[in-house]
Amino acid sequence: MDDDIQMNQNTLMQKKRIKKRLVQGLLFTSPVLIGYLVFVFIPLVFTVFISFTDFSIGAAKTKFVGLENYMDMFTGKDIYFWPSVKATMFYVFGSVPISIVFAFIIANLLNMKIRGRSFFRGIFFMPMVIPLAAGCSIWVWMLQPDFGIVNKLLDFFHLPTSTWLTSDKTVIVTFIVISLWITGTAIVIFLAGLQQIPDYLYEAADIDGGTAWHKFTRITIPMSSPIIFFNLVVGLINAFQTFVQTAVLTPAANHVIMGQPNNAGLLYVPYIFTKAFTFSEMGSASASALILLLVISSITFLVFKLQKYFVYYEGGK
Amino acid sequence: MKKKNLSKLFAYTVLIIVSIIFVFPVFWMVRTALSTPSDVFNRNLNLLPSSYEFNNYKRAFESAPFVKFFLNTAFITIVNIASTLFTSSLCAFGFSRIEWPGRDRVFGILMTALMVPYAVLIIPHFVGFSALGMTDTFLPLLLPILLGGGLFNIFLLRQFFMGIPKELDEAATIDGASLWQIYRLIIIPLSKQSLIVVLLLTFLLNWNDYMAPLIYLSSEKNFTLMLGLNQFIGGYSSQWELLMAAATIVVLPSMIVYMLAQRHFVEGIAMTGIKG
């Protein structure tokens, strides 16, 4: 009898304690819980809802239009959709692999017990600190076909010059070239990863007579694969959301939207931005934005699924 | 041995060439800002200007209220740094040092929001802030930060907090400390290093932000430095010496902060990769 009462009291106390901790936990995390509700969850629901309407912030009435916003994109009635998809795919699948390879090579060179390593590292990271809009405005000037320094220098070294940002054929290539200038974050993260690879692995390879190439492909790459993976995911998510490049490198002018010539520089987020805030077609812009959400989450999901084939985790994860 | 020297020589050559290319835009910005128009539109290759024209800076300052832009940007950045440090550490504490039912599941759901592109949220945010009459004020740039301080920062700080031994909290509890005291007197002092990382990331994010001010701020008295520069890009498109003078004004504060805290920046970024 006594034991029973004792036990009941114990479980009651425990329940009380758990409840107290729940209240405390919710209290401490309440800013982000409220923030998630107000700034993520409700907005998402709202976006889904207005993507089926012709909602616009100035308009008097909002009409339900069903799937029309979505149809307009795929059928090409919205003339900017396919050009921006094309530009974005070209940019994302060009810039992400190239900048990861570039950053990985630079990080490996820096990891060669080089003098002045932190000096070089500081230089490579510097463009990340420069406001991107300001950095891009410098590039616009440097890449001017006639008076820009880049063509002058290329000409001086008897190399072919380019039309850079002024032709629809070279705009995205130019974006990709500039994206190499802002790989500082990836370089720093790669270098930190390389420095964590234990020396004894390389020493063991030396004893076994492994060449530098062997060491690179059999030790460096597998040991860095989790970080390559990290930079890949972050790089993809960021590249899909590029905005400043289009807005500053190919700016909007009087009655002409950004991303010209020929919409070749109109990446996807600038396309959404233009629809929402220049044309005031917020319903239709929301439909475009949801497609971006779908694409980014599917690619992230896919990359995570593929992870087990090419990422090596020490001790099996 | 010889082979090793050769490969090092190769490494130095590549690193030096790439470094020059990386620094060159900054050099060229300053160089152009000090040039006369005739120097700017010279077809010959001159790496240094024929004469130095400091007047361009004066003209840039005269054509736009950059001091006001600077103060606006500084205000937004400082407020957002303060609210990020406070709320993200508070939330990270709740997700790492307090055991409550459903905690990790709630955290996992929150983290899925990291995948949601800003472009998806910007339309409803704008509609909401317009309905509340808050456009063309700083509030749309400050309120979202106050509520949570950015999910990535919470993620980062949670990782650090979980590395602090549990025994410290337990001992403090036995001594009668409240959770608030544990947060304030144990966890925060032990996490200075990671809080500095969050501070610097928040500085960069806010100081360099372009899209949000572009959407919300419309009158010149509220402009940030980025919007001031944006005005130049539209309005002075062929006056390169003036545009580059404006760009220098915009770039300078970030460069000074970087020079003062370079090590923290670089090590902080490295940590985000390793811990993430």
Q: Which residues pair with A64 in a beta bridge?
A: A53
pLDDT at B53: 80
CA distance B125 to chain A (A): 7
Sign of the dihedral defined by the CA atoms of residues A303, A307, A310, A313, in that order:
positive
Does A147 contact B120 at a Cβ distance shorter than 8 Å?
A: no
Cβ-Cβ contacts under 8 Å, A228 against chain B: none
- Find the closest chain A residue to B103 by CA distance: A25
pLDDT at B237: 66
Does A124 contact B146 at a Cβ distance shorter than 8 Å?
A: no
Write the CATH number for A262. Answer: 1.10.3720.10
pLDDT at B40: 79
Could you report the per-residue pLDDT of A205-240, keeping only the tens digit for each? 989 888 888 899 999 999 999 889 889 988 999 999
Does A106 contact B15 at a Cβ distance shorter than 8 Å?
A: yes
Residue A9 within a domain: no
Mutation target vs B (from A24, A32, A109; most B CBs, 10 A cutoff): A32
Contacts of residue B246, defined as CB under 8 A and 6 or more positions apart, other chains included, come to: B60, B64, B66, B228, B229, B232, B236
Q: Which residue range(s) make up the domain with A253?
A: 80-310
Q: Is B265 on the interface with A (CB under 8 A)?
A: yes
Residue A46 within a domain: no
Does B147 contact A147 at a Cβ distance shorter than 8 Å?
A: no
In angstroms, how far is the first alpha carbon of chain B from the final one?
A: 38
Query: Are B19 and A129 a contacting pair, CB within 8 Å?
Result: no
Q: Which residues pair with A253 in a beta bridge?
A: A256
Contacts of residue B144, defined as CB under 8 A and 6 or more positions apart, other chains included, come to: A35, A39, B125
Compute the average pLDDT of residues B204-210. Answer: 91
Cβ-Cβ contacts under 8 Å, A135 against chain B: 25
Q: Between A171-181 and A81-110, two packed helices, what is the crossing angle to 10 degrees?
A: 30
User: Which of A156, A248, A253 comes nearest B45 by C-beta?
Assistant: A156
User: Which domains can be identified in chain B, with CATH numbers?
Assistant: 64-275 (1.10.3720.10)
Type and span of the H or E element at B268: helix B240-275
CA dist A24 → A18, A19, B14, B150, B160 (Å)? 10, 9, 55, 21, 20
Could you report the per-residue pLDDT of A157-196, keeping only the tens digit for each? 999 989 999 888 999 999 999 999 999 999 999 998 998 8
Indicate the number of domains in chain A.
1
pTM (two decimals): 0.90
Compute the average pLDDT of residues A139-155. Answer: 90
Alpha helices (H) along A111-148:
117-129, 132-142
Alpha helices (H) along chain A:
2-36, 42-50, 68-75, 81-110, 117-129, 132-142, 149-156, 171-181, 184-195, 199-207, 212-215, 221-240, 244, 268-273, 282-310
Find where tokens 């407020």 sit: B79
How far is residue B168's CA from residue B173's CA, in Å, rounded to a whole number? 9
How far is residue B32's CA from residue A38's CA, in Å, rounded to a whole number? 46
Given a cut of 90, whether residue B39 has pLDDT beyond it is no
